[in-house]
């Protein structure tokens, strides 16, 4: 009861005893690169894009990347238990494997599952995130049916040495720490950071059938990133970047000691050359590695399995600046290899490659903005695919703008969907999609608002069935036919005065299978967020309300997962120029809710009311 009382006080705490300090208003003209693969103002982007800045990331210290993403428009998440368990992200009702995730340009989707281990990427390493919600295969190739999430790790700015770090502790015996440094030596800029996370966690399953599964399932993660950029001549730079994350999560499966190790590694080399005043070349080589090592502990025996995916990526992009826009031409190559090791035996199971040529244009003239993209992919397994995108925007007034966009996309089945034992189907066809969307936007000094309508038609949609599978297959992958996802997203932010900012978003959608009219698994038809921020003097306070309607845990729509609403709050105090103290409370009302279920009797657990305290140091 005392804990709930403390959390409630944090949520209701409006501090107004100090002299007011102006609250930072939303940036109306940010520069993004994900929407077109070239630098572009958010005011002229025709696609549906969101930027998450470092301030918003810092508010969720002690939380996960999935917690942060589900506060954004059109984003849903679900997990198989507490911290460290598998976290899945969906954009506008699409599948979690119909999404490309980049970290500093490195593709980190698993080649076996097609999903991304969001649970293994700590917020402490992240400086900024760009979310593109719309098909983007004409820019990025296979998998971008739902969109692209691009994560940028922390980088120093300016020529001063920057040292920073955080220590934190919270509920469920959770302890974190991270430290980093950025510095400059003549024409060389470099930096590095490390992050550690340790929690005893909660039981992954709620009401499990075995007493042994009622134990707490802990999670440990150790991660680091580094970069270096050398400007060896004016307009010519060579950059290196590296990311590594090693996580160990325990899970329930009838025996004490069951755990999964998930290892991610990504590194890249980038050469940028200003060939002329208008013509720039960017040559990149990136390598992404994803390894999953599972240990099932049984009486007198241990069965281990090791699955590893490597993705080699080469991209050579040319940008030519025109008087009213930019022409982009690129060549991309992606090589995917899957390695399996079971009890000492190691084999290269599968591999494939994809070559592509991309042509794009972004332009602005008078009140008009336009974006065009065309891509030809040749996949060594599935042949040729041509995808395109066309976007147009018109400024009705300096504050009002309308946009319309079309995009086609495709996704080659993952290696698991094709070849996994007692699951895979080598006869699967690639998914194809066509998306139409339109938006009305208002950008004033105090008020920003956007309404986006979307209609995404997906053909050859690949779905996991639990019945009607071949003999010996507990579940199987099949092309389920056509999917139509219609919906609308509302977003707005309002500066109430110098101290108060109110923002929110709401998504209403209908992601259904045409043949059965059933909703897709674990997709809500209505979900959204409301955020209230307050700042005065050295204090700042934020409260978030997150809500979702009912979802179904199965393709037949027989197992319903109830709707829920969560209340979270953050309170921060700037001790001095370098030190900051912050407290965060999650699920303040101690809501008992479910994001995913094992079956009709066993649910995956979620965390109750909890708190997290952190002390931050930042010296420029």
Residue 395 pLDDT greater than 80, yes or no: yes
Confidence of residue 209 (pLDDT cuts 50, 70, 90): confident
**DSSP secondary-structure letter at 57?**
H
Whole-number pLDDT of residue 341:
60
In the block, which residue shows the tokens 């403390």? 6
- Here the CATH number for the domain that contains residue 236 is 2.40.170.20
Q: Lowest-pLDDT range, 251-255, 372-376, 477-481, 603-607? A: 251-255
Q: Which of 242-256, 287-301, 417-431 has the highest mean pLDDT?
A: 417-431
Two structure tokens written together for 520: 């897709």
Joined together, the tokens standing for residue 610 give 């909890």
Q: What pLDDT does residue 472 have?
A: 82
Long-range CB pairs of 157-161 (<8 Å, 24+ gap) are: 158/184, 158/620, 159/184, 160/184, 160/620
Over range 568-575, report the average pLDDT.
97
Domain tally, the chain: 1
Backbone angles phi, psi at 235, to 5 degrees: 85, 5
Share of residues in the chain with pLDDT > 90 (%): 70
pLDDT at 11: 53
- Say which range, 39-53, 341-355, 552-566, has the weakest mean pLDDT: 341-355
Q: Are strands 99-103 and 147-153 parallel, antiparallel or unpaired?
A: parallel
Q: For 40-62, what is each residue's pLDDT tens digit?
A: 999 899 999 999 999 999 999 88
Cβ count within 10 A of residue 450? 20
Q: What is the pLDDT of residue 20?
A: 39
Query: Residue 302 pLDDT more than 50?
Result: no
* Listed range (31-35, 116-120, 161-165, 498-502) with the worst mean pLDDT: 116-120
For residues 263-284, give the mean pLDDT. 96
pLDDT at 3: 52
pLDDT of 346 above 50:
no
- pLDDT > 70: percent of the chain: 91
- Whole-number pLDDT of residue 345: 42
Determine the pLDDT at residue 84: 84
Average pLDDT taken over every residue of the chain:
89
Tell me which of 85 and 198 has the higher pLDDT. Answer: 198
> Coil, strand or helix: which one is 481?
coil
Span 597-609, average pLDDT: 89
CA distance 408 to 480: 19
Confidence of residue 299 (pLDDT cuts 50, 70, 90): very low
Q: What is the rounded average pLDDT of the residues 479-494?
A: 94
Whether the pLDDT of residue 38 is over 90: the answer is: yes
Question: What was the pLDDT predicted at 7?
Answer: 53
Q: 613: domain range?
A: 2-619
At residue 2 the predicted structure's pLDDT band, cuts being 50, 70 and 90, is very low
pLDDT above 90: residue 422:
no
Top pLDDT among 278 and 302 is at 278
212-230 mean pLDDT: 90
- pLDDT for 455: 97
Degrees to nearest 5, angle at CA 342 with 100 and 116: 15
Those residues with Cβ within 8 angstroms of residue 412's Cβ, 6 or more apart along the chain or in another chain:
142, 143, 352, 354, 379, 381, 382, 430
The mean pLDDT of 342-347, rounded to a whole number, is 47
Tell me 428's DSSP state: P
Q: What is the DSSP string of 485-517?
A: EEEEEEEEEEE-SSSEEEEEEEEEEEEEETTT-
Q: Pick the closest to residue 111 from 305, 296, 313 (CA basis).
A: 313
- Residue 294: pLDDT band by 50, 70, 90 thresholds? confident
The predicted-structure confidence for 163-175, as pLDDT tens digits, reads as follows 999 999 999 999 9
Q: Does residue 358 register a pLDDT over 70?
A: yes
pLDDT tens by residue, 311-340: 999 999 999 999 999 999 999 999 998 876
CA angle 78, 84, 85 (to 5 degrees): 45
Question: Distance between the two ends of the chain, CA-based, in angstroms?
Answer: 42
- Of 152-166, 466-480, 581-595, the range with the lowest mean pLDDT is 466-480
CA 17 to chain centre: 38
- Predicted local distance difference test score (pLDDT) of residue 601: 84
Q: Which residue has the higher pLDDT, 612 or 217?
A: 612
Q: What is the mean pLDDT of residues 469-480?
A: 87
pLDDT at 160: 86
Specify the pLDDT at position 27.
62
């Amino acid at each position: 009861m005392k804990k709930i009382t403390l959390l409630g006080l944090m949520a209701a705490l409006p501090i107004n005893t100090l002299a007011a300090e102006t609250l930072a208003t939303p940036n109306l003209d940010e520069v993004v690169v994900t929407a077109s693969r070239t630098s572009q103002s958010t005011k002229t982007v025709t696609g549906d894009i969101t930027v998450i800045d470092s301030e918003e990331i810092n508010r969720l210290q002690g939380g996960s990347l999935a917690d942060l993403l589900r506060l954004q428009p059109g984003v849903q998440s679900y997990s198989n238990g507490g911290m460290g368990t598998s976290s899945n992200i969906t954009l506008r009702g699409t599948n979690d494997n119909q999404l490309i995730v980049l970290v500093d340009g490195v593709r980190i989707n698993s080649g076996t599952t097609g999903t991304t281990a969001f649970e293994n990427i700590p917020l402490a390493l992240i400086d900024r995130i760009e979310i593109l919600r719309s098909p983007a295969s004409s820019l990025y190739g296979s998998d971008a049916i739902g969109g692209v999430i691009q994560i940028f790790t922390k980088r120093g700015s300016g020529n001063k040495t920057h040292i920073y770090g955080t220590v934190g502790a919270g509920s469920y015996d959770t302890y974190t720490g991270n430290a980093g440094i950025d510095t400059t030596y003549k024409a060389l800029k470099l930096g590095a950071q490390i992050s550690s996370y340790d929690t005893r966690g909660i039981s992954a399953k709620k009401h499990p059938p075995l007493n042994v599964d009622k134990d707490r399932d802990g999670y440990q993660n150790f991660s680091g990133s580094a970069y270096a950029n050398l400007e060896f001549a004016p307009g010519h730079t060579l950059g290196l970047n590296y990311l590594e994350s090693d996580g160990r999560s325990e899970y329930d499966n009838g025996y004490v000691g069951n755990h999964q190790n998930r290892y991610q590694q990504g590194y890249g080399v980038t050469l940028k050359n200003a060939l002329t005043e208008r013509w720039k070349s960017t040559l990149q080589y990136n390598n992404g590695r994803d390894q999953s090592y599972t240990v099932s502990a049984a009486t007198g025996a241990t069965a281990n399995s090791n699955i590893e995916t490597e993705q080699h990526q080469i991209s050579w992009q040319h940008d030519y600046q025109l008087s009213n826009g930019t022409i982009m031409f690129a060549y991309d190559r992606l090589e995917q290899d899957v390695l399996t090791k079971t009890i000492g035996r190691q084999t290269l199971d599968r591999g494939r490659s994809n070559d592509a040529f991309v042509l794009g244009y972004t332009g602005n003239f008078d009140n008009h903005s336009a974006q065009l993209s065309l891509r030809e992919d040749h996949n060594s397994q599935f042949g040729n695919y041509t995808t395109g995108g066309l976007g147009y925007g018109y400024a009705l007034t300096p504050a009002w703008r309308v946009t319309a966009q079309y995009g086609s996309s495709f996704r080659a089945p993952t290696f698991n969907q094709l070849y996994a034992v007692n699951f895979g189907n080598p006869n699967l066809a690639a998914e194809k999609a066509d998306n139409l969307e339109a938006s009305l936007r208002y950008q004033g000094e105090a008020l920003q608002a956007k309404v986006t309508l979307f209609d995404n038609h997906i053909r050859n949609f690949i779905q996991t069935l639990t019945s009607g599978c071949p003999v010996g297959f507990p579940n199987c992958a099949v092309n389920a036919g056509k999917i139509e996802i219609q919906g609308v997203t509302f977003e707005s932010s309002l500066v109430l005065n110098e101290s108060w900012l109110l923002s929110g978003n709401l998504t209403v959608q209908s992601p259904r299978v045409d043949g059965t009219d059933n909703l897709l698994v674990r997709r809500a038809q209505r979900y959204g967020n409301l955020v209230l921020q307050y700042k005065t003097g050295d204090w700042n306070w934020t409260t978030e309300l997150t809500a979702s309607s009912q979802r179904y845990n199965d393709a037949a729509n027989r197992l319903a997962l109830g709707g829920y609403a969560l209340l979270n709050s953050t309170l921060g105090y700037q001790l001095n120029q370098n030190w900051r103290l912050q407290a965060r409370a999650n699920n303040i009302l101690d809501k008992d809710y479910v994001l995913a279920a094992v079956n009709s009797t066993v649910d995956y657990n979620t965390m109750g009311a909890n708190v997290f305290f952190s002390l931050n140091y930042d010296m420029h």
